[in-house]
Amino acid sequence: MPAHETASNVETASKKDVQKRFPLPIPSWLTFLSFVILLGGCGTVSEYTGTASQQELLQLRNEVATLQRSVQQARAQAEGVPGQVDGKLREQSAESERQATALARRVDGLTTTLSNLTTRVDELGTRMEALTREIRASAGPRAPAPAPSRSAPPSGAPAPRPSTGGSPPAAGGPQPQDIYQAAYIDFSKGSYSLAVAGFREFLRRFPEHELAGSAQYWIGEAHVSLARGYANAGQGEQVTQTLEQAVREFRKVVANYPRSDKTPTALYKEALTLIELKQPALAQSRLQYLVDTFPQAEETPLARERLTALKERGS
């Protein structure tokens, strides 16, 4: 409360108190006192009046002092409130600064980590390119792969594809290993579409090469990876189409390259893809074929476990 308002209130209260105690106007009091003097003598009235006035003044002074103390207390409280508000604001500001500092440190740490990872990726890319150059430099003309055995294939296995007489590498042209390695590097980097194109080019030029079955297998794997990318992007229709294409590519490994090292793996991955396509009965059939045809393959124990789980789920 402002000081001039407090003083005004004190003065108003004093006036009201005087008016309560002396309700008659001043001239009326003078007339009354003159009348008393005439009746009872000057000495007695003077003594009475002086005593009453002193008591009234003392009481008024006490009341004024009480009001002043109240005003001072109110002023102190009013002055204390902004201090408390300022203190809270300072505390909030300090807390905000601490949080901002902590966030800045986290951002700096993440930036450093990202920079380190980027440097590591660049180093790995450089090493991969160096290895590729070494492989290309050291790779000489390779002996043709031995002709496949004419013995009958295992029961239920598809017959090997007849030779298509793929064109031999031209003198000075890219070697089969170069094309295969370039496509595999694209696959390793996550460039699955480029990898598919590279492996298809390899199969077009060298369909009878010993790496042909592996090239066909990686085409199927690339489609599975592409389907995962579509799934992350929320493109459900593309996911289904790409997984179905992956099944077809894995089946080409079994149909065209039954003696390839990748044939059991292609069968197992085909079954997993069929499970993902919600075709458990067909997946069970392919797993059973894998277990019966390739009992010694590394994928066979896994195939048995999957087969058991599918049968229990279907029962």
3-state secondary structure 51-116: HHHHHHHHHHHHHHHHHHHHHHHHHHHHHHHHHHHHHHHHHHHHHHHHHHHHHHHHHHHHHHHHHH
**In whole angstroms, what is the distance from residue 135 CA to residue 182 CA?**
11
Shortest CA distance to 243 belongs to which of 265, 220, 266?
220
Q: Say if residues 213 and 253 touch (Cβ distance below 8 Å).
A: yes
The H or E element spanning position 158 is none
Say what the pLDDT of residue 88 is.
78
Vertex 171, ends 167 and 175: CA angle to 5°? 65
pLDDT at 185: 96
CATH 1.10.240.10 fits 174-314, yes or no: no
- What pLDDT, on a 0 to 100 scale, did the predictor assign at position 51? 58
Angle (CA) 232 251 217, round 5°:
65
315 residues of the chain, pLDDT tens digit each: 554 455 455 455 555 554 555 454 544 544 444 444 444 444 444 444 455 567 777 777 787 788 778 767 877 776 665 666 667 778 887 887 778 677 667 756 665 565 556 555 555 555 565 555 555 555 444 433 333 333 333 333 333 343 344 455 555 567 999 999 999 999 999 999 999 999 999 999 999 999 999 999 999 999 999 999 999 999 989 999 999 999 999 999 999 999 999 999 999 999 999 999 999 999 999 999 999 999 999 999 999 999 999 988 876
The pLDDT score that the predictor gives to residue 219 is 97
Report the pLDDT value the prediction gives residue 8, as an integer from 0 to 100: 55
- Category of 140 on φ-ψ map: left (φ > 0), alpha (ψ -120 to 50) or beta: beta
As to burial, measured by CB atoms within 10 angstroms (0-12 exposed, 13-18 middle, 19+ buried), residue 191 is middle
Q: Where are the domains of the chain?
A: 3-98, 174-314
Find how far residue 276's CA is from the centre of its chain: 27
